[in-house]
Chains A and B, each alone.
Chain A
Amino acid sequence: MADDDALEQSEAFITSIFHSTPSGLGIVRNNVFERVNDPLCGMLDYLPSDLIGANTRLLYADDDAYLQVTLEIEQQLEQGTSCCLETEWRCRNGMAIDVLLRAAALCPTNLDAGMSLGVLDITARKQQAELAYLLDKHLAKNRLAAGTTHELRNLVAGMIQSNQVIGNRLQTELPGNLAVAQDCDIEFDAIRHYIEQRKISRMIAAIDNAGKRAIQLIERTRRFSHTEDISPRPYNLVELLDEVLELAATDSTLNKNEFFAKTQLVREFAPNTPWVSCKRGDIEQVVLNLLYLSAESFSGIDADSPMIIIRLKKASSGVQIEFEHNGTDLPDSLQRRDFGNLYPPPHVGAGIAPSLWVSYFVVAQKLGGKMDVERAAGNGAKITIRLPTTQGGES
């Protein structure tokens, strides 16, 4: 009787440890769950009764993934070692999570006795690493862009300045021009007549105009790649959005998107929109990210009239910017208002979740605003950004 009590107490003690441990734990025999603890069920959004008696195949996306993991665990346990590996599991709602599995044989000499399986959800850690990687890549590109824009500026300087010399030497009655023309037995007026008739003057003007536009583009790219504002200052968003959209027209990522090329970009900017205190680079980053996101929404669908509407208007307590498109809806997992808890879930399309998450971060943390996502009236989605206006409501 005393032995039974001791056994019962021991069982209760082990069960208590099993369920109170913060990590997911399961006992698996022949790939079937015999016991699962509450943290494991919570992690996967299953009830214990769903998992106990179920084959672990339930948690994998396909047979290949399941067989690969079970084979690797078996091989390592047969070698007499515990096993540690990363894989991807599916929750009850189909959402994928990254997990770290630690398997150990309950009886090293008899693997048929089963194994304990420790499970750690490492989704957030992997996504943070991915974001850190993206950030590092972004900074590297910025450094490259800053160097490239400097070199481009030099090249265009040589072109614009040489062009001015050409114009000066062909069109202006300078003593040096007259002397050389005389040496060549040519009337300077004849030279001027020739270049007018051959429309060379117009071409010189066109080169000058193109060079100045190139410098504007280089300058905008430089400002985007190297945010110059040390602290926020008031900006007229109508002008700023126009400039960013012009910059977007030169964005190779957007222009390589075959759907974006066919997409009509509609600007609905209300006049006299209040100014917003911000850093220029923050607005540029959000607008380009959301344009990219909107362009991606047309991938894989046959939209009749793909359209992205960008609205800018005065709101009750600030300024409202809307990005509305008639592409695909955002996945349910992104239809949340609480972006603060949103890590980019995997398998929602390359780049979509990070773009949205980074945009939310900039809007909420850097600009002191709010960002919402909702389904558009027809197809597609609408992203709304609300920003506070500059003190005094300058307009």
Chain B
Amino acid sequence: MGGGATLEAEARLGPVVEVRRYRFDNELRAILAPDPSRQRVAYQSWFGFGSADDRPGKTGLAHLLEHMLCIGAGFNAATWRDWTYYHVTCSPRLLGRLIERDAFNLVALGFRRAQVFRERDVVVQEHTRNQDPEALVYNALYRLLFGDHPYATPTIGLLEDIVRIDERDLDLFHRHFYVPNNACLVVAGPFDEAEVLERIGEHFRRARRRTLPSQSWEIPAPGGERREALRRPEVSVPRVAVGYPAVAKSSDDWLACALLAEVVGDRLHDALNRAGSASVTGAVAFSRMPGLLTLLARANRDLSIDQVCAAIDEVIDRVATYGVTTGELEGTRRAHERRSWERLVELDGRARMLGEYEMVHGDFRGLTGDLERLPGVDVAAVNRLASRVFQRPRAVVTLEAGEP
């Protein structure tokens, strides 16, 4: 194909959309999902690093660097533990210009100190903005169970580290991680595949492959249940969060684990709502290394923390002992499938899912694989997993009104 790219993998999303992954000589990947029925194009560049690549004392680097590279670029962006991505949806006629602009992110940059300091201030304000109750309990769960592991730190970093980042830190981090062999471009919408490959090859060929810093992290084995009680004056109703060590996205058990989390979340939601309105979310981390299965409950004025904790324990004990039912699993399977298609229907969501699977699962075809495997995940598999996961030492975080 064009631009010196080699076709590496292909898959079909639904009855219409075909997806192909190409690799260039410098190991840059491009996932192309042409769709002539659309009028606009989603362009995203994904990088296989995130806050998990920050180092102790230098947390927040991946995220601040993402901010710096967005200034004046016309892209939006996001950073998570395992990835950083830049995204834009626009007219196809702008695609060539976007590719050219995006390629700058892979060449050596010089960050100006004054600009770094201003953007650092912006991130400090973002940090303050993010201190909502749900984020507080969620971050505490990871802090309790992950010890020195980088998943213990919020993606945005620790405030005391953020305010010390300077342009040299950013330059170094950029040199290490913004390399073509750590990147994948995703394009979805109406475009000529050969022409796009030609453009990518032309603009990204100057980017040289480099060896990535070696990373090896052990997830600490928790000795027993860990608890933390948080208080904040502005909290109006209690929150309780429970986290169990779960599995990585690439694990064969991930899909069953995701369904299990949703069933348990739904059951807990029903249990708490017998006593009034409360909301519960059950989810499992979509992460490269094993993350957590989390249950986050927001109570109401009539429910105390003890009542919520008791309801959580009762639901988990019942699921671990008696398992989930076929009916529950069927409803959750349908909801999971519906959500996947809902994300795929929008061009931006489609490109994002392809990029996220490529970076976290290791192959975008994991997406189609999950959709194909979904009907086969049976009650026995989910229940075996439940009895295993819910025996693991967990973390429980509570949050209520009061002075910290």
Q: Do the two chains belong together in a single complex?
A: no
**Residues on B facing A (Cβ under 8 Å):** none
**Residues on A facing B (Cβ under 8 Å):** none
